[in-house]
Amino acid sequence: MTEKKWSIDTIAVHGGQEVDPATQSRAVPIYQTTSYGFENTEHAANLFGLKELATSIQEL
């Protein structure tokens, strides 16, 4: 079997990644979860109630 030559696009996305022997996955999984830190419950309520503006995406 001949070795397939990958395009620069494929190398940019998958270069350096090893195949997971357990799942045969070639891509690193993403975890679509997050958590937020608040000064206290009043701070959280004000942010989610839009009474106070968040200064960064980490706050809201």
DSSP letters spanning 1-60: -PPPPPPHHHHHHHTTPPPPTTT---S-----------SSHHHHHHHHTTSS--SSTTT-
The chain-wide mean pLDDT, for the chain, equals: 79
State the pTM of this model.
0.36
Give, in degrees to the nearest 5, the angle at Cα 52 between 51 and 58: 130
d(CA 8, CA 41): 49
* pLDDT higher than 90, residue 8: yes
What is residue 59's predicted lDDT score, i.e. its pLDDT? 46
27 versus 47: the higher-pLDDT residue is 47
Q: How far is CA 39 from the centre of its chain?
A: 25
